[in-house]
Chains A and B, each alone.
Chain A
Amino acid sequence: MNDSLEVEADVRETKDQGECFARFVNVQKSYDGVELVVKGFNLDIQQGEFVTLLGPSGSGKTTCLMMMAGFETPTHGEILLKGEQISGLPPHKRGIGMVFQNYALFPHMTVAENLAFPLEVRHLSKDETRKKVDRALAMVRLEEFGDRRPAQLSGGQQQRVALARALVFEPELVLMDEPLGALDKNLREEMQYEIKRIHASLGVTMIYVTHDQTEALTMSDRIAVFNDGIVQQLATPETLYEEPENAFVAYFIGENNRLQGEVVEHIGDDCQVRLDSGDIVLAKAVAAGGVGARTTLSLRPERVSILLDESLSFDNCFEGHVKEVIYLGDHLRTRLAVCGNDEFILKTPNAKGHPNLRPGQTIKVGWSSKDCRALDA
């Protein structure tokens, strides 16, 4: 009872805002009646936005997409499209374009027939259909391939056909479920660019699912980081990377040094944390609890500096023992033991005059309290 009232209130709120294009309101989903796969999923999507659902395998991303497309029904909560409830609408009436992970191109039809299918079911005239199919093929640069069967195309080409097919009937919303998962790295980067280009030129709203964080960071306007059936953080790529709100997001996006400890004292926006090794670290109190609470400190490897002389000074300075140095061309990765953490990573650009580190050496490292975020345990 309470829940449904809550939902109604939420819905009213949306209508008041009036701008949201697509909306998940407190959506829950259970397949077996025992376990919630999606627990209270909320997401507002603006018109023309590129939103990515990012999360580890099994976190319920596909499930959310399927609920939007109409192939699964939410166990609880509402899904709205342009302010309208769409729970009762069958998939073929939702007018949502969808790109599947394995493309799902119809093998018994040519590329052109595949693209014509959504137009035919909408009873477009032959001429118009042909025109739109040609335009869609041109958009994905496959003009020559209309007469081929999907099996006669490479993976990247099939992917582009799938994209063209999802767009040819001009849906306002396109869903993509790991569309690049089967491609190799180069092709994937090329296709990421292609999808972005098409998104920009058509202005459609896209919801994109991936578990590849680089892909999410490069493509999205906003990213919803998914774990355990709920959104951990919904923000722009920069915010996610620079200002993760909890330990999971910090860990999941980019590389990250983790130090465990206990809050000793709050000083304005900052707090002092006593690490398990006994060292005291000054950090930005983002999601740390009160005095005595356990906390995880998150620190990006590229924000740690090596202190060669005393000229540089940080509010956090510690000794580190070099364990391993890995040469990666444009940068070096150094594994250190710092404050009792053997997996402390340091990234230094391969620039002129970078210090020549050797395993076994002891060096001084430091970081600013602004870059060190105290998050939940």
Chain B
Amino acid sequence: MSESPSSPLTTADGVPLKVSLRRAVRRSKIKALLLVSPLLLFLIIAFVMPIFDMLWRSVDNPEVSTNLSRTVEALEGWEGDALPGEPAFAALVEDLQEGQQARNLGLLSSRLNYEKSGMRSTINRTARRVNALEPPYRDALIDINDTWGEIDTWKLIQREAAPLTMSYYLAAIDRQLTVDGEIVKVPDHLEIHVALFWRTFWMSAVITGLTLLLGYPIAFLLSNLPLRHSNLLMILVLLPFWTSLLVRTTTWIAILQSQGVLNDVMVAIGVIADEARWQMIHNKTGTIVAMTHILLPFMILPLYSVMKTIPPSYMRAARSLGGRPFLCFRRIYFPLTIPGIAAGGILVFILSIGYYITPALVGGQSGRFITNYIAYHMQTSLNWGLAAAIASILLFVVIIFYLVFNRLIGVDKVKLG
């Protein structure tokens, strides 16, 4: 055990034991690495790199510094207490001329427009006429658009010359920077993201709670019924996995819509009046119902795997020691299933806050998730930086949940299958 430094253990031919052990292990390590390398490569290309790309995009700020490089240089040392001098205006004209020729001012104008509305049209209008301009450029530019006569515009250009920005993250939580660098809330009518984050979180929590309520008894049955019955039940639990997600979601539309099966039945048996059909789809109810159904197996399976390892003799022992059935359940069985509850809970919650298709199809306006806004910014508004920032926030939340879970329960406690 105790290896004294003066005489390290050696093999018969005098090679130190550690060295020869390392040599012996290396071959098998290389073999193992070769075996996993295709998957590793795939994961790096399809998973790790996109994530880093996303994280990078959420702070990357190249537009001003590349497209207005001369202007930025001319603004160096400018204090911002009065309009900059003629050289800055001249530099701007030169930058815009070049940008107009290369036709790459679109990104710049969008980027500045995020920070100060109206900048897109200012730049576009200026760029169209920039080739005909004559010095002095200062008056000529202000003549085209008053915005160039505002100190704030120049301060903005100076600020956004930085290579990294946090304005996407600020926008993701409905905040913005003033020209003086203060963080303030965006005007009320533009506030959407924070409310959507909260809605995503609480609806995910509700969905998680519902899957737990519905899944716990099923998992209990699964792990306690005789094999023949439990196999059948297991197939029923797994059945949804064999059906397309889209089919399951649209089935809920057929069931829940106002001319749908459920409403029709209730009208037919006189529970509700024909004019007062319930609105159960394209709102929060729709999202919660459909997602609870879709995510249920992800709660049942971890619960089942934990419950199956609890021998029935624990409950019997507790009963024989004098505990009433419910007390035995509360004190003995339930605590032993907590790792399963935590695993199922974290799984469903994480899947749920990242869910896209179902809320998009059945959520309507009020049942939409933050993910639907990520898609909106990716596809419609084309503000990829903001999409990346929102997605990164979701990623951080997931990581925090995972760490808390690991701290409280321990991932190693959960055996899946």
- A interface residues (Cβ-Cβ under 8 A, vs B): 69-71, 90-98, 100-102, 104-108, 117-118, 121-122, 165-166, 169
Contact = CB atoms under 8 A, between A and B. Distances in A.
A100 B317 contact: yes
B314 A96 contact: no
Contacts of A105: 317
B314 A97 contact: no
A245 to B, nearest CB: 34
Q: Is the interface of B mostly helix, strand, loop or mixed?
A: helix
B410 interface: no
B30 interface: no
B332 interface: yes
Contacts of A101: 313
Contacts of B319: 70-71, 90-92
Interface stretch (B170-178, B258-266, B323-331): B323-331
Contacts of A102: 311, 313
- Which range holds the interface residue count of chain B? 10 to 19
A104 B327 contact: no
B310 to A, nearest CB: 9
Interface string B28-53: 00000000000000000000000000
A77 B328 CA distance: 29
Given A121-B323, A121-B324, 10 more contacts: A71-B316, A100-B313, A100-B317, A105-B317, A107-B336, A117-B318, A118-B322, A121-B321, A166-B320, A169-B322
Contacts of B313: 100-102, 104
Contacts of A108: 335-336
A114 B284 CA distance: 46
B273 to A, nearest CB: 49
Contacts of A96: 320
A92 B335 contact: no
A122 B316 contact: no
B225 to A, nearest CB: 15
Contacts of B321: 92, 97-98, 117-118, 121, 165-166, 169
14 contacts: A71-B316, A91-B316, A91-B319, A92-B320, A95-B322, A98-B320, A104-B311, A106-B317, A106-B318, A106-B332, A107-B336, A108-B335, A117-B318, A121-B324
Q: Is the interface of A mostly helix, strand, loop or mixed?
A: loop
B192 to A, nearest CB: 45
A212 to B, nearest CB: 20
B320 A117 contact: no
A71 B320 CA distance: 9
B324 A106 contact: no
A356 to B, nearest CB: 50
Query: Quick one: which of B314, B317, B318, B332 has the most chain A CB within 10 A?
Result: B317
Contact of A122 (B311, B322, B328, B331): B322
Nearest to A108: B335
Interface in B47-81: none
A98 B317 CA distance: 7
Contacts, number: 67
A28 B199 CA distance: 61
Contacts of A121: 321-324, 327
A92 B317 contact: no
Contacts of B323: 92, 117-118, 121
B80 to A, nearest CB: 64
Contacts of B331: 117
A92 B323 CA distance: 6
B322 A104 contact: no
Nearest to B335: A108
Contact of B320 (A69, A106, A107): A69
Contacts of B311: 102, 104
A111 B318 CA distance: 14
A97 B320 contact: yes
A92 B336 CA distance: 21
A373 B23 CA distance: 72
Contacts of A70: 319-320
Query: Quick one: which of B311, B327, B331 has the most chain A CB within 10 A?
Result: B331
Contacts of B320: 69-70, 91-92, 94, 96-98, 166
B180 to A, nearest CB: 57
A98 B316 CA distance: 9
Interface in B104-140: none
A38 B112 CA distance: 87
Contacts of B318: 106, 117
Nearest to B319: A91
Query: Quick one: which of A69, A95, A98 has the most chain B CB within 10 A?
Result: A98
Query: Quick one: which of B313, B320, B331 has the most chain A CB within 10 A?
Result: B320
Query: Quick one: which of B321, B327, B332, B336 has the most chain A CB within 10 A?
Result: B321
B324 A104 contact: no
Nearest to A168: B321
A367 B320 CA distance: 51
4 nearest CB pairs, A to B: A118-B321, A104-B317, A104-B313, A98-B320
B89 to A, nearest CB: 74
Contacts of A71: 316, 319
B322 A92 contact: yes
Contacts of A98: 316-317, 320-321
A122 B323 CA distance: 8
A93 B324 CA distance: 8
Nearest to B323: A121
Nearest to B321: A118
B316 A104 contact: yes
A106 B314 contact: yes
Contacts of B336: 107-108
B214 to A, nearest CB: 25
A231 B320 CA distance: 26
A100 B316 contact: yes
Query: Quick one: which of A93, A97, A106 has the most chain B CB within 10 A?
Result: A106
A293 to B, nearest CB: 45
B136 to A, nearest CB: 82
Contact of A92 (B314, B324, B332): B324
A165 B322 CA distance: 12
Nearest to A93: B322
